[in-house]
Chain A
Amino acid sequence: MLTLPLVRNLFIGGPLRDEVIIDAHMHIGKYYNFLIPSTGVAAVIENAKRIGITRLYGSSLLSLRNDAIAGNNMVIEAHKAYPGVFFPYLVVKPNYAEETRDILDLAEREHTKQFKIHDDGNGIPFDHKNYIPLYEYADQIGAVILAHTYGEMHVAPLIKVAMQFKSVKILLGHSGITDEDAYYLAARSCPNIFLETCNSLAWYGLIERLVKKAGADRICFGTDMPFMSPDQQIGRILGARISDEDKRRILGLNALEVFPKKL
Chain B
Amino acid sequence: MMTGEVESGEVPVTSRTPAPALRLQGATLSFGDRTLWSDMSLEIPAGQFVAVLGANGSGKTSMLRVLLGLLPLTAGSAEVAGRPVRRGSTRVGYVPQRVALESGNLIKARDLVRMGLDGHRWGLPLSVGRTGRAARHRVDELLTSVGASAFADMPVGRLSGGELQRVRVAAALAADPDLLLCDEPLAALDLRRQREIADLIDAQRRRTGAAVLFVTHDVNAVLEHVDQVLYLAGGRWRLGPPDEVLTSAGLTELYGAPVDVVRVQDRVIVVSATEGITGHQSHDDHAAHHAAHHGAHDADALDERFGVG
| A and B: interacting chains | no
Q: A-contacting residues of B (Cβ < 8 Å)?
A: none
